[in-house]
Amino acid sequence: MSEQAQETVGTIGDVEFGAELPAFAPDTGLENVKRFGREVGWGGGRFTDHEVARKEGFPGAIVPGVMSQGYLGAMIHRWAPKSEIVAIDTVFRAPVLVDHPHRIVGVVTDVDEDAGTVEIDISIVNEREETRVFGTATVRLPAD
Adjacent-strand bridge partners of 21: 106
CATH code, 130: 3.10.129.10
Residue 133 lies in domain: 12-27+68-140
Percent of the chain with pLDDT over 70: 97
For 57, half-sphere exposure in the C-beta direction (CA atoms, 13 angstrom radius) is 1
pLDDT tops 90 at residue 44: no
Mean pLDDT (the chain) is 94
Rounded alpha-carbon distances, angstroms, from residue 144 to 11, 14, 87? 6, 8, 22
Question: Is the residue at 17 inside a domain?
Answer: yes
pLDDT tops 80 at residue 3: no
Question: Is the residue at 63 inside a domain?
Answer: no
| Band of residue 4 on the pLDDT scale cut at 50, 70, 90 | low
Question: Is the residue at 44 inside a domain?
Answer: no
57-68 residue pLDDT tens: 999 999 999 999
Question: Is the residue at 41 inside a domain?
Answer: no
| Spatial distance between the Cα atoms of 115 and 29, rounded to a whole number of angstroms | 39
Q: What is the pTM of this model?
A: 0.91
Average pLDDT of the residues in 9-35:
96
| Chain Cα centroid distance, residue 21 | 11
Question: Is the residue at 20 inside a domain?
Answer: yes
| Side chain identity at residue 20, one-letter code | E
Rounded alpha-carbon distances, angstroms, from residue 104 to 25, 57, 58, 137? 6, 25, 22, 13
- Domains contained in the chain, number: 1
Beta-sheet pairing, 84-92 with 102-112: unpaired
99-115 residue pLDDT tens: 999 999 999 999 999 99
